[in-house]
Structure 1
């Protein structure tokens, strides 16, 4: 990677260390990338300056370096967008996240007997990044890497439960709300009502909404570095209301343990 334009040969101009003991320019660059992602992937320098509190010359130097490395690209309208080189990093990170999650999903399968999944919110879609299948001959199977719309899934509901209503409406306007089954929620009002129930209950269900005969129970992974959910799914005859009462505490326990493991990994422990 080429050196930042902030660096010179004089010690006085070297980038000061960050409070954490790291390199301040790196922390600032990653902060800008995350702010760009939060803003939808495309921003102007003035927006970044207002959001980050950094002066425009500093942001311009950092963005120029990110552009030269391929992590950001400059649009014809002079705004900056996340670059394609980030896709490879994101795909690799998602695969690793799925690998880390598998032992926790295996525990869910061991204790519930049903298929366990992990899913992330990627843009406007839900993507499944890990699964451990049930040992039953009749079981739910979702291919890792499969993408679905959030409105018809339990994982989609928990992933969007704490998103502001106007942002949820905007997402639904972009994706549409096609009916996968006769029980799929197909109106924004109905979906927002379902999200309110998720916030109150602390978990979400997909009751024959994605596939007739299949029920899913999902909870979010707290404090995850990206929006993540774990779920169990199986035939409606087995994943009953009584089973839900028993499975939900276990789902929360496993999600909490997974969150702790991810935090430890992020801290290099």
Structure 2
């Protein structure tokens, strides 16, 4: 009986590994690619995929590639909502200190998804909504997250996701993005000057020791987010990400 339980646990772990591989590939993958990465016998992969497809956690596309399934959407939404609640007090504190909108965002495939927000009290503010997905290369949270990856990993991510010019100021070449990420690593925070929303500046910092790459940002219109604001936002972000990291560790 113990052997059966062990085999069951091993099958669950392998199935979850397959889902991770599909996610890392950008959301869909061929069977041959999956086989080479998973390092499992093909019959085992077939058996696990059949189970995942039957349960709705994976699906087979018309071109016979395998993709993440619809049941994961609901799980992800609930997980993101609970994950975002951890940071709510810290985000509210940021708004109280700085007067601008604060966001928590995490990596979602090859995009970033906003999981929590504390809005600015000002009538004119950034209107990014919780649950909204955005490109990594054009957002400060995205660049703070990308800075945690190697250059080769960044190239692979943007090759899958693309680098559209969201605004006229968006970075639109890999070399320019890699140069920006080197600066992010050196100074410890990311900056977006109208690259995601025209007339909006945003500062972001990655949160250490999180289960998924995560960042916190503060954003507002250029009329208020000026050089004087920059002097206040960086130390405030540094304290906030440390607090969120500690809170997440205690909750896990």
Pick closer, same or farther for the CA change 1:37–1:149 going to 2, 3 Å. Answer: closer
| 2:100 pairs with 1:98 | no
Larger Rg belongs to = 1
* Corresponding residue of 1:186: 172
Structure 2 residue runs without a partner (length 5+): none
Q: SS state of the match for residue 15, structure 1?
A: helix
Q: Deviations over 1:146-203 (max 9, x none)?
A: 333333321121122233435544554553432514x333333222211111111111
**Aligned CA distance change for structure 1 residues 50 and 172 (closer, same or farther; 3 Å):** closer
User: Which residue, 164, 167, 170 being the options, matches 1:177?
Assistant: 164
Counterpart of 2:221 (choices 221, 230, 235) is: 235
Tell me how far 1:131 sits from its aligned partner.
Answer: 1.3
| TM value normalised by structure 1 | 0.78
Secondary structure of 1:16's counterpart equals: helix
Whether 1:248 and 2:238 are equivalent positions in the alignment is no
Q: Give ranges in structure 1 of 5+ residues lacking alignment.
A: 1-10
Q: Which range moves more in the overlay, 247-256 or 100-109?
A: 247-256
* Length-normalised TM-score, structure 2: 0.82
In the superposition, relative to structure 1, how do residues 15 and 75 fare at CA in structure 2: closer, same or farther (>3 Å)? farther
Q: Counterparts of 1:70-149 in structure 2 under 5 Å?
A: 70-75=56-61, 79-149=65-135
Name the counterpart of 2:186: 200
Query: In structure 2, what is the Cα distance between the partners aligned to 1:202 and 1:89?
Result: 32
Q: What is the count of residue pairs matched by the alignment?
A: 251
Aligned to 1:120, what secondary structure does the other structure show? strand
The CA distance in 2 between the partners of 1:79 and 1:175, in whole Å, is: 20
> Quick one: distance in 2 between partners of 1:55 and 1:28?
11
> Whose relative contact order is higher, 1 or 2, with alpha carbons under 8 Å and at least 6 apart?
2
Q: Does 1:14 align with 2:4?
A: yes
